C-alpha cells in the first residue's frame, strides 16, 4: 500500500463546519454482472429460493477447488480502463479470515497485497467545479451469504445464494471534502459501472453498496481518526448518514472526547449512525495467499482486446463532443451523464447539424419537463428527429425561441404532430415580409417621438421600448434581431 498524501491546496472557509474540515474516502462493492459465480459455475441470478444457488465450491467443501471466472476478470479490466488505472499483469488472491454465520467457509477469497486494478481516478462536476477523486485500487473478491432475520418466528436463517457472487471493491484515496462531493463521486462511479455494463447498479438489491470512511480535522492538521459507515444503498441515505456522522464527530471532539476508530451502521428510521463493532486491523484478518488459486496473469494483449471491444467511455465521449461539436466542457459532461441522453443528443444533432442549440434544448426545456414528470429521456414523447426539426425552424428564422416552446408544448401532448403543421396551425411563423415589418416600424417611430429623441440623445435603453412596441404591433411574430437591425438603420 502506498503513502496517502494530502493536496497542497488551502481549505476554503465555506467547506469548514464549526472550524473543522471533513475528510471522506469510499470503498464501494460493485457486484459484477456475470451469469455465474466468481469461482464456480453456480448461477448468480437475484431472488431465487434461499439456498438453491450455492454449490460445493462456493461453500469450499473439502475436495473442491475454485476456478477463476473469465467474465469477472474482463469486467475488472474494463473498469480499470474506464478510470485510467494500471491493470496488473500479475495479481494475487488472498484469504481474508473471519467468522460470521453467513460465511461458513471461514474465509473470503479477496485480493490483498497485489490487486488487479491499481490507481486511476474518477472525474466529475460538483456544481460547475471539476473534481477528481483518486482511486487506490479495485480488487476482485467473492461475496458472502446473507442472514435473514425471520422476526415472526424469532429466528435467523442463512441464505447462501449470494456466496461466491463476484464483487469489484473500488477504494478511493481520502480525497473528498464534503458529503455533497462524496455523493457526487458515488453517482459518477455508479454512472461509469452501469455505462460500461459491468454492474447492473441496482442499489436496492445490493448490487452497488458504498462504505463511507469519515473523519474530521482542524485545517492543516494530520488526518483524524475515521469511522466507516457500512452498506449505504441509496444516495439519499448516503448524504444523510455522512452529514449525521460529521456532526456527531465534531460534537464529540468539541466535548473533549476522542473519536474511536469503528464500523458504524446508518439507521434510516432514526437518521443516526451507531457503532456496530470496533474496527478490525488488517492483521486481524490473517491474510495469506490462497493456495488453491494461482496468480491471475493478464497479458497486455488481453487488455488491448478488451479495450478494442469496449463501448465508448463517457469521459472520451464528452471529449469528442467538445472536439467535434464545439460544446463547452460542462455541456459535454452534462450530456454524457447517461447513455440514452447522449444517444438522443447525437441523433438530433446529426439530423439538423446544430449541436449547441440541440444541447441547450435537451438540457433546458426537455429536461425541465422530464424532471416534473420524474421521468428520464426514455419517456420523452418527442423524438430526436422532431427536436431536430424544431431546432431547424429556429435556426432558419421561421420561429422564435418563444414560439418554439409553444410548439414543444403541443408536441409533448400530441407527439404524432409535425413541427411545421403546428407552426402553421398556431400561426407562429415569424414575420418575414420586410415590407409589412417596415410599415409597423414607421408607425411606431411616428407615434413615439419622445423615445426616438432620447435614443438619439444617447439613451440606448430607449431602443428597448421601441422594440417592445414593434413586437406588440406584430403580435409577437416579428423577428427581434430583424427589428433591431431595421430600427438602428432607420435611426442612424
> Residue numbers of the site for Mg ion (CB under 5 A)?
27
Judge whether 292 and 63 are in contact, CB under 8 Å: no
Between 100 and 223, name the residue whose CB sits nearer to ligand ADP. Answer: 223
Kindly report the CA angle at 205 between 201 and 206, in degrees rounded to 5?
70
Query: With 0-12 CB in 10 A as exposed, 13-18 as middle and 19+ as buried, what is 361?
Result: buried
Torsion from C-alpha of 452, 453, 454, 457, nearest 10 degrees: 120
Q: How many residues of this chain interact with ligand ADP, rule: CB under 6 A?
A: 15
3-state secondary structure of 378: helix
**Cell numbers 496473469: residue:** 297
Please report, as residue ranges, which positions from 205 to 234 form the binding site for ligand ADP (by CB under 6 A). 213-215, 223-224, 226
**24 sits near ligand ADP (criterion: CB under 6 A):** yes
338 backbone dihedrals φ, ψ, rounded to 5°: -155, 145
Least gap, CB of 83 to ligand ADP (angstroms): 15
Query: With 0-12 CB in 10 A as exposed, 13-18 as middle and 19+ as buried, what is 277?
Result: exposed
Q: Which does 171 bind (CB under 5 to 8 A by kind): ligand ADP, Mg ion, none?
A: ligand ADP
- The conformation of residue 131, written as its DSSP 8-state character, comes to E
Least gap, CB of 172 to ligand ADP (angstroms): 5
296 has which bridge partners?
A: 91
Between 75 and 226, name the residue whose CB sits nearer to Mg ion. Answer: 226
Between 170 and 466, name the residue whose CB sits nearer to ligand ADP. Answer: 170
Show the site string, 430-449: x = touches ligand ADP by CB under 6 A, - = not.
--------------------
Judge whether 342 and 317 are in contact, CB under 8 Å: yes
Least gap, CB of 426 to ligand ADP (angstroms): 57
Judge whether 149 and 184 are in contact, CB under 8 Å: no
Least gap, CB of 212 to ligand ADP (angstroms): 8
Between 108 and 215, name the residue whose CB sits nearer to ligand ADP. Answer: 215
Judged by CB under 6 A, which stretch of 19-27, 353-361, 388-396, 424-432 contacts ligand ADP?
19-27
**26 sits near ligand ADP (criterion: CB under 6 A):** yes
Closest listed residue to residue 162, CA positions, set 31, 268, 257, 282? 31
Between 27 and 329, name the residue whose CB sits nearer to Mg ion. Answer: 27
Least gap, CB of 177 to ligand ADP (angstroms): 10
Residue of the chain from 115, 174, 201, 384 that contacts ligand ADP (CB under 6 A): 174
Closest listed residue to residue 344, CA positions, set 375, 313, 371, 376? 376
3-state secondary structure of 220: coil
Least gap, CB of 280 to Mg ion (angstroms): 9
Q: Which does 26 bind (CB under 5 to 8 A by kind): Mg ion, ligand ADP, none?
A: ligand ADP
Q: Which does 409 bind (CB under 5 to 8 A by kind): Mg ion, ligand ADP, none?
A: none
Q: How far is the C-alpha of 93 from the C-alpha of 65, rounded, in Å? A: 14
Judge whether 167 and 140 are in contact, CB under 8 Å: yes
Q: How far is the C-alpha of 130 from the C-alpha of 123, rounded, in Å? A: 7
Continuous H helices in 158-260: 179-195, 235-254
Cell readout for 283 is 492483521
Residue of the chain from 30, 82, 170, 171 that contacts ligand ADP (CB under 6 A): 171
Q: How far is the C-alpha of 27 from the C-alpha of 263, rounded, in Å? A: 13
Least gap, CB of 34 to Mg ion (angstroms): 24
Between 108 and 213, name the residue whose CB sits nearer to ligand ADP. Answer: 213
Least gap, CB of 211 to Mg ion (angstroms): 6
Least gap, CB of 405 to Mg ion (angstroms): 50
Q: Which does 58 bind (CB under 5 to 8 A by kind): Mg ion, ligand ADP, none?
A: none
Which distant-in-sequence residues (6+ apart) come within 8 Å of 286 by Cβ? Answer: 97
Q: How far is the C-alpha of 326 from the C-alpha of 349, rounded, in Å? A: 12
**120 sits near ligand ADP (criterion: CB under 6 A):** no
Between 27 and 123, name the residue whose CB sits nearer to Mg ion. Answer: 27
**115 sits near ligand ADP (criterion: CB under 6 A):** no
**172 sits near ligand ADP (criterion: CB under 6 A):** yes
Judged by CB under 6 A, which stretch of 8-16, 24-32, 66-74, 471-479 contacts ligand ADP?
24-32
Between 30 and 452, name the residue whose CB sits nearer to ligand ADP. Answer: 30
Q: Which does 124 bind (CB under 5 to 8 A by kind): Mg ion, ligand ADP, none?
A: none
Residues in the site for ligand ADP, rule: CB under 6 A? 23-27, 171-174, 213-215, 223-224, 226
Amino acid at each position: 500500500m502506498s503513502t496517502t498524501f494530502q493536496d497542497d491546496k488551502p481549505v476554503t472557509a465555506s467547506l469548514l463546519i464549526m472550524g473543522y474540515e471533513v475528510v471522506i474516502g469510499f470503498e464501494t462493492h460493485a457486484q459484477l454482472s456475470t451469469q455465474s459465480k466468481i469461482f464456480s459455475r453456480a448461477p448468480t441470478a437475484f431472488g431465487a429460493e434461499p439456498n438453491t444457488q450455492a454449490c460445493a465450491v462456493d461453500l469450499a467443501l473439502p475436495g473442491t477447488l475454485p476456478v477463476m471466472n473469465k467474465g469477472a476478470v474482463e469486467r475488472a479490466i474494463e473498469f480499470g480502463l474506464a478510470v485510467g488505472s494500471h491493470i496488473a499483469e500479475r495479481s494475487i488472491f488472498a484469504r481474508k479470515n473471519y467468522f460470521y454465520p453467513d460465511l461458513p467457509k471461514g474465509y473470503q477469497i479477496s485480493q490483498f497485497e497485489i490487486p488487479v486494478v491499481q490507481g486511476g481516478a474518477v472525474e466529475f462536476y460538483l456544481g460547475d467545479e471539476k473534481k477528481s477523486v483518486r482511486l487506490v485500487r479495485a480488487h476482485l473478491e467473492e461475496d458472502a451469504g446473507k442472514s435473514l432475520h425471520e422476526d415472526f418466528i424469532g429466528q435467523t436463517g442463512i441464505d447462501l445464494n449470494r456466496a461466491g457472487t463476484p464483487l469489484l471493491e473500488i477504494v478511493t484515496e481520502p480525497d473528498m471534502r464534503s458529503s455533497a462531493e462524496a455523493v457526487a463521486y458515488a453517482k459518477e462511479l455508479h454512472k461509469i459501472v452501469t455505462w460500461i455494463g459491468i454492474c447492473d447498479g441496482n442499489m436496492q438489491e445490493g448490487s452497488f453498496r458504498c462504505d463511507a470512511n469519515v473523519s474530521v480535522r482542524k485545517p492543516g492538521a494530520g488526518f483524524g481518526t475515521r469511522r466507516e459507515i457500512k452498506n449505504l444503498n441509496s444516495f439519499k441515505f448516503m448524504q444523510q448518514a455522512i452529514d449525521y456522522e460529521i456532526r456527531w464527530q465534531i460534537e464529540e471532539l468539541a466535548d473533549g472526547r476522542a473519536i474511536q476508530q469503528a464500523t458504524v451502521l446508518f439507521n434510516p428510521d432514526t437518521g443516526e449512525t451507531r457503532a456496530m463493532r470496533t474496527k478490525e486491523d488488517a492483521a486481524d484478518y490473517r491474510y495469506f495467499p490462497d493456495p488453491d488459486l494461482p496468480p491471475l496473469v493478464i497479458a497486455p494483449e488481453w487488455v488491448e482486446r478488451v479495450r478494442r471491444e469496449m463501448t465508448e467511455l463517457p469521459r472520451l465521449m464528452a471529449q469528442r463532443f467538445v472536439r467535434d461539436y464545439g460544446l463547452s466542457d460542462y455541456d459535454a459532461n452534462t450530456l454524457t451523464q447517461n447513455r440514452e441522453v447522449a444517444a438522443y443528443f447525437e441523433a438530433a444533432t446529426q439530423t439538423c447539424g446544430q449541436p449547441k442549440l440541440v444541447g441547450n434544448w435537451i438540457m433546458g426545456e426537455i429536461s425541465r419537463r422530464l424532471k416534473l414528470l420524474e421521468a428520464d429521456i426514455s419517456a420523452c414523447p418527442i423524438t430526436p428527429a422532431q427536436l431536430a426539426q424544431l431546432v431547424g425552424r429556429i435556426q432558419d428564422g421561421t420561429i422564435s425561441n418563444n414560439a418554439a416552446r409553444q410548439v414543444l408544448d403541443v408536441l409533448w401532448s400530441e407527439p404524432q404532430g409535425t413541427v411545421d403543421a403546428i407552426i402553421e396551425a398556431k400561426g407562429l411563423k415569424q414575420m418575414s415580409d420586410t415590407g409589412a415589418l417596415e410599415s409597423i416600424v414607421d408607425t411606431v417611430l411616428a407615434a413615439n417621438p419622445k423615445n426616438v429623441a432620447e435614443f438619439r440623445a444617447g439613451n440606448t435603453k430607449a431602443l428597448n421600448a421601441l422594440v417592445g412596441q414593434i413586437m406588440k404591433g406584430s403580435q409577437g411574430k416579428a423577428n427581434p434581431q430583424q427589428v433591431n437591425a431595421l430600427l438602428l438603420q432607420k435611426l442612424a
